[in-house]
Chains A and B, each alone.
Chain A
C-alpha cells in the first residue's frame, strides 16, 4: 500500500487554482520529488498533506489517514522541514529539539537519547548548547531535518530543503538526506526547483501551473529526450535552425541564445552539424540529458528564478486571499 495517496486533489484560492486536480502515489521507503518552478503548487500540496490547509476537493491520505478528517493521526506520522526556518533562534539547538520531543510526546526515557542521536547524525552535537541565532543557514537546516526525525515519522516532508544554502552545505545535506530511508525507514517527500537535486529521487512528479505534467523515475523521464542533447552557438541561430531542419531533419529550438538539439547519438551528430553549418558555428557542447532538459522539452521553458517574478505575484495574491478568508 502506498504511504501517500493523493486523488484528484484541487486547491483554489479565490480565482487562483494553485493545485489543479492532481493524483499520485508514493511508495514507502522511497524518495519522491516534486519538481517545478516557483508558484507551481508545490508548497500548497505539501501544506495540504501536512494538514495545514484543507483541500477544495479531492482526497489526500498519509500513512492511511485522511489529511482532512484525521489530521491528528497524520501529524503523528509526519515530520516537516519548511522552506523558511521554524526554529526558535533564542533557544539552543538542544532546547529546540527537546521542545519538539515533548510536543510529540516522546517517552521520557527516550527523549535525551533521541535528541543526542539526531544531533550526532547531523554533526551538531558539539554545538548543542549554542543559541540557534549563532548558526549558519546550513546548520539551521540540518538541525531542522534532525528535529523532524525525533518522533520517528513515517514520512519526512522537505520543502525546498537546500534553498539559500551554499553549494558545499547543499551537497552535504543531500548526502545526509539520501541516507535517511535506509537508516530510519522513513519515506522522503521533497519539493525542489533545482533539477540536479531531483536526480537523487526514486520517483519524480513534474508540476507546472498546478498540474502534474509527467511522473516517473529520473531515468525514465530522461528518455523523453530520446538521447543526448547538443547545445550549439552560431552566428545566426534562427538561420542555423532552418538549415538543420532542411538538411538533417532535426528540430532545433533556440533557448537562451543557444540552439537546443536533441540527438540520439550526440558524438556522431556534432561533426555532422558542423559540416552542415560550416564556420558559422561558434561553440558546441554535448550533454547527457538532465531533468532540466526534460522540463524544457515538456513545458518549453526552463525552471529558473528570473522568470519567477509573476509567480511571486501569484504567491502574494494567495497570501492576501488567505489573510482575508482563512
Chain B
C-alpha cells in the first residue's frame, strides 16, 4: 500500500522547488528573527528574567515552533496550489495509494521545515543559551517530529480547500491562533481557563513544550514546561498518526 519510489519523488520535488525558491527560504528565516529580536527584545524590558531565564530565552523554543508551524503549513497547503494549477491531477491518476501521497507530502513538509528550524536553533549562543551536543540532537529530533505532525495537520486542512483564495483565511483563523495559543509567547499555565483549554487542544502546544524541556529546562515557575516530556512526545506521535490517516481518508473523498 505504500510506494517508496512515489514518496521519494514527491519529497524530491518539494526539496528541489524549495532550494530554487530563495525568497521562500529568506522569508522563512527572517520571520522568526523578527519575532525573536524585535518582539522578544522589546518584551524583555517588560518581563524580568525568572530563575535566570530571560524572556528571549523563554520564547526561543516557541520561535522554533513558529518556524516549523509556518514552513510546514505553507508546504502542506501548497497542495491547494497543486489542485488549482492542475498538477495534483497528475498525482491522483497515478497508481499510488492515497496514504502514500499523504506520507510523501508530510515528509516533504517535515524535511523542509526541520532544516529551517535547525538554522534558527543554531542561533542559540546569541541568546546566551548553553546547549550541549546531546541537547542539540534532542532538539533536532523534536523539531523533526513536530514538523511531521504539523505538516500532516496542514494536509488535512488543505483537503478542505479548492482555491488559493482561502489562503488568508487559513493564515488568520488557523496559523496565527495556533501560534499564539501554543505557549510560544506566554506560558500556557498563566492563560485564562478558556484559552488554556484551547491551548491544550492545539497540536503545536506539545511541540513547543517538548522543546522547552530541552532548551530551557526549569523545574518550577511560570516559565517552566507545562507537561512532561513523555506526555508531549506521546501526544505529538499519536496526532501524527491520526492526521496522516485522516488526510488519506479525506484525499480519497476529495482529492
Contacts and interface: CB of A to CB of B under 8 A. Distances in A.
A326 B92 contact: no
A323 interface: yes
A103 B96 contact: yes
Contact of B254 (A75, A87, A105, A326): A326
A105 B3 contact: yes
A98 B6 CA distance: 11
A105 B97 CA distance: 13
A90 B17 contact: yes
A75 B6 CA distance: 14
A208 B148 CA distance: 49
B91 to A, nearest CB: 7
Nearest to B86: A86
The bracket for how many chain B residues form the interface is 20 to 34
Interface string B70-97: 0000000000000001111111111111
A219 interface: no
B9 A102 contact: yes
Contact of B95 (A72, A90, A102, A326): A72
A310 B39 CA distance: 55
A40 B188 CA distance: 58
A76 interface: yes
A100 B87 CA distance: 11
Nearest to A71: B95
A103 B5 contact: yes
A89 interface: yes
B162 A99 contact: no
Given A90-B17, A90-B20, A91-B13, A103 B91 contact: yes
Contacts of A100: 90, 94
Which of B20, B91, B95, B253: most chain A CB closer than 10 A?
B95
Contacts of B255: 52, 326
B6 A103 contact: yes
A82 interface: yes
Contact of B5 (A90, A105, A326): A105
B5 A51 contact: no
Interface residues of A, number: 29
Contacts of A99: 9, 13, 90
A166 B88 CA distance: 27
B253 A326 contact: yes
A72 B94 CA distance: 8
A52 B6 contact: no
Contacts of A323: 162
Interface in B217-255: 253-255
Interface in B14-36: 16-17, 20-21
B37 interface: no
Interface string A70-113: 00110110101010111111110001001110111100000000
Contacts of B97: 72
Contacts of B8: 102
A156 to B, nearest CB: 12
A240 B6 CA distance: 67
A82 B5 contact: no
A6 B179 CA distance: 52
Interface string A305-326: 0000000000000000001001
Contact of B89 (A76, A86, A326): A86
A73 B94 CA distance: 10
A104 B253 contact: no
Contact of A75 (B12, B85, B94, B162): B94
A105 B96 CA distance: 9
A98 B254 CA distance: 26
Nearest to B88: A86
A50 interface: yes
Nearest to A104: B94
A147 B86 CA distance: 15
A73 B254 CA distance: 21
Given A50-B93, A87-B90, A99-B9, 20 more contacts: A52-B89, A52-B93, A75-B93, A75-B94, A76-B95, A80-B93, A82-B89, A86-B86, A86-B87, A86-B89, A86-B90, A88-B87, A90-B17, A91-B13, A102-B8, A102-B9, A103-B94, A103-B96, A105-B6, A105-B95
24 contacts: A50-B93, A52-B89, A52-B92, A52-B93, A72-B95, A73-B95, A75-B93, A75-B94, A80-B93, A82-B86, A82-B89, A86-B87, A88-B13, A88-B87, A89-B85, A90-B20, A91-B17, A99-B90, A100-B90, A102-B8, A102-B12, A103-B6, A103-B91, A326-B253
Interface of A: 50-52, 72-73, 75-76, 78, 80, 82, 84-91, 95, 98-100, 102-105, 147, 323, 326
A-B pairs, 6 with minimum CB distance: A102-B9, A75-B95, A86-B86, A76-B95, A86-B90, A103-B94
